[in-house]
Amino acid sequence: MNKAQKIVMGFFTIALIVIAVLAVFYFRANPTGSTIIDLEANSSVLYYGETCPHCKIVEEFMKNNSIENQMEIIQKEAFSNKTNAEELLKVGEICKLPKEYIGAVPLLYADGKCYIGDKDIISFFQEKLNISASA
């Protein structure tokens, strides 16, 4: 093996070690391998359940008031999607919600705060988007 080949092999070996170390740190911090949202980067995330009656109230309000045309909202179903459910739990912990509310839907994370329940979420939309209470 000549000197150039040894140098290339050395760089290759170092690169593999760095990748392995980064992978170990990633899976320790995030054992399921799921991607947890960066709450600072995403302005608004709505967690809901497909069969949740309070979520349906929020959905209807959003539809009737064209909320998604006025602000960007990422919607994540948390009843049948394990990754979204795990993320919802983490968001509840980040917001320091009482234990009985962690994992509950509907939950809106917006402007650095958690809004939980149809009344709280609808009030947020009304205030932020200047929508009258009768709308």
Q: What is the pLDDT of residues 3-43, one digit of tens each?
A: 888 887 877 788 778 786 766 666 555 444 444 556 655 56
Model pLDDT for residues 81-129, shown as the tens digit of each residue: 999 999 999 999 988 999 999 999 999 999 889 999 999 999 999 999 9
13 and 59 part of one domain:
no
Indicate whether 83 belongs to any domain.
yes
Indicate whether 135 belongs to any domain.
no
14 and 50 part of one domain:
no
22 and 52 part of one domain:
no
CA distance linking residue 30 with residue 36, whole number of Å: 8
pLDDT value for 133: 75
List the beta bridge partners of residue 48: 77
**SS3 for 10-79, per residue?**
HHHHHHHHHHHHHHHHHHHHCCCCCCCCCCCCCCEEEEECCCCHHHHHHHHHHHHCCHHHHCCCEEEECC
Find the domain containing 6 and state its range.
Answer: 1-31
Indicate whether 39 belongs to any domain.
no
Task: Give the residue, 29 or 52, on which the prediction is more confident.
Answer: 52
Task: Give the residue carrying structure tokens 């149809």.
Answer: 118
pLDDT value for 3: 84
pLDDT value for 65: 95
